[in-house]
């Protein structure tokens, strides 16, 4: 989990239809009819600007969204807890099905980290098996928020740990190999750097952690800049 890009202004369709969409959901919610919280047209109008926040990845687990992980719209504060905030632009985030289902409608009371408003990267430490944990330097309150975020979104589910480990090993190999290059990056190393620094690459928190761990913090800083600004 890393900080998202700067959020765009409210999408035109949402600005125009927010009141009507909210009233519709309140009616469905009050009737307990089991209806969807938004129409397909409303969701389509929100999808693209939300995906732009994260370069097409889940805001929590940083997995790619697409054919293998269907993108969904997450409410930071549950639409069932606060129906009136269901179409509040800053309450909406792009997520994968698993993170969304894991969090569900939990009343986290602000303990869940919110990557568009704060930088979650300093809250986490990546372990040797790809597991994510609260950073050891956190205060007790910060550690609680990190732990709750990990728990609520199931960020240590098996597949994620394996994927993070693969990415960490890739970064380690790249740093070790390029350290021996005396005339700058050769073509294969440059191509791999382009891949690792691509804002669309999954698990940026792992890439940056690994760069810092393997004595290349300036590359972690470059990656953060490229993520925010794009190439």
* Whether residue 31 sits in one domain with residue 84: yes
* Whether residue 91 sits in one domain with residue 68: yes
Confidence of residue 231 (pLDDT cuts 50, 70, 90): low
* Whether residue 167 sits in one domain with residue 144: no
CA 170, CA 133: separation in Å to the nearest integer?
21
* Whether residue 176 sits in one domain with residue 78: no
Burial 181-197 (b: 16+ CB within 10 A, else e): eeeeeeeeeeebbeebb
**What are the tokens at 148?**
């709750």
- Residue 34's pLDDT is what? 79
Interval 24-30 mean pLDDT: 94
* Whether residue 99 sits in one domain with residue 178: no
* Whether residue 162 sits in one domain with residue 144: no
CB of 95 closer than 8 Å to CB of 60: yes
Does residue 68 have a pLDDT over 70? no
Does residue 219 have a pLDDT over 90? yes
- Residue 72's pLDDT is what? 94
* Whether residue 206 sits in one domain with residue 148: no
Does residue 75 have a pLDDT over 80? yes
The tens digit of pLDDT for each residue in 158-198 reads 899 999 999 999 999 999 999 888 788 889 999 999 999 99
Confidence of residue 35 (pLDDT cuts 50, 70, 90): confident
CA 29, CA 35: separation in Å to the nearest integer?
8
Domain range enclosing 94: 1-120+128-156
| Cross-strand partners of 125 | 133
* Whether residue 170 sits in one domain with residue 146: no
Alpha helical stretches, state H, 32-157:
40-54, 97-103, 140-152
The tens digit of pLDDT for each residue in 94-114 reads 999 999 999 999 999 999 999
* Whether residue 144 sits in one domain with residue 176: no
Confidence of residue 13 (pLDDT cuts 50, 70, 90): very high
- Residue 67's pLDDT is what? 57
* Whether residue 197 sits in one domain with residue 208: yes
Domain count, the chain: 2
* Whether residue 95 sits in one domain with residue 1: yes
* Whether residue 110 sits in one domain with residue 201: no
């Amino acid at each position: 989990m890393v900080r998202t890009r700067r959020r765009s202004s409210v999408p035109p369709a949402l600005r125009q239809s927010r009141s009507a969409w909210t009233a519709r959901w309140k009616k469905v919610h009050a009737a307990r009819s089991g209806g969807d919280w938004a129409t397909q047209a409303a969701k389509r109008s929100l999808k693209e600007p939300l995906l732009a926040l994260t370069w097409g990845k889940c805001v929590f687990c940083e997995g790619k969204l697409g054919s293998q992980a269907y993108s969904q719209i997450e409410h930071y504060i549950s639409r069932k807890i606060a129906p009136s905030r269901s179409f509040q632009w800053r309450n909406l985030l792009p997520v994968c099905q698993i993170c969304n289902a894991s969090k569900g409608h939990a009343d986290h009371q602000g303990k869940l980290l919110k990557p568009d408003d704060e930088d979650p990267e300093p809250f986490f430490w990546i372990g040797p098996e790809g597991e994510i944990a609260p950073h050891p330097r956190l205060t007790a309150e910060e550690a609680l928020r990190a732990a709750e975020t990990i728990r609520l979104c199931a960020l240590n589910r098996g597949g994620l740990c394996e994927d993070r480990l693969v990415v960490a090993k890739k970064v380690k190999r790249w740093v070790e190999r390029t350290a021996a290059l005396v005339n700058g990056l050769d073509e294969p190393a440059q191509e791999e750097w382009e891949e690792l620094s691509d804002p669309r690459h999954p698990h940026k928190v792992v890439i940056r952690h690994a760069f810092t761990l393997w004595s290349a913090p300036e590359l972690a800083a470059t990656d953060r800049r490229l993520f925010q600004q794009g190439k």
